[in-house]
Structure 1
Amino acid sequence: MKTTISQRTIFEDIFARSTEDWVSDGEIHSLVMTRTGEIDPTTARSMALGVIVERIMREWMIPTTYNTSWNIDPWEAVRRIEDAWWKGRDRVGYLDIVQFIPTSEALEVGRAVLRGEDWDA
């Protein structure tokens, strides 16, 4: 059965997007706001951070700076992201501090999502 982009879960959408390029923390924040309809940026930030934490802890996404892996403990990566988000929340672009590259398992999920939508994957 063919699916559409609007039927994707947030996680599926992240993985599908990551088949072509890395996904930034700002992109995940925007995706959470769009998909949930949450208009309060603080609430959406907390929700997006939850998505990021789960994906890092389950080893689906690798935090990087322009494709250079941070090579640190996952909890330290989460702490750095959270710290930067809350300290910089009053400036434009504060969300774009990290890019995530998918693990091979996440790429497979993303490709399966795209195949289900009849995209070339």
Structure 2
Amino acid sequence: MSFGYGHAPAPEADLTIDARRLFRNRCDDPAMRHATGLDADVRDHVMATPGIGSTIAAAIHYAIGLASCGLDCTIAAGCAGGRRRSVVLAAEIARGLRDCGVAVQLTHRDVHSPVIQA
């Protein structure tokens, strides 16, 4: 699940990734302010952030470990507005899990919420 801390409290999850300080935010470019992590150029921008690949891999590893024991888990990725960084993180984690044969339900809680004004 992706979400924005600026819209509501973080959802209950087994693992929560806070992307507010760690990963590049595409809203720094005024032309991209209303784009989301569902847009390819935003995805590419976020994925170019150092450390994001290893963060995604660690979350996938965590979920696969639980799945191998027959356990379900919720992974929540949050950023300020829930429209860019968290969306990319959640989508990439979901993709990686599906590639490993793990059933995934992906939700973007705030991707269509209003842009948080800085």
> Is TM-score (shorter-chain normalized) higher than 0.5?
no
Relative to the length of structure 1, the TM-score reads 0.31
Q: Which has the higher helix share?
A: 1
Structure number with larger C-alpha Rg: 1
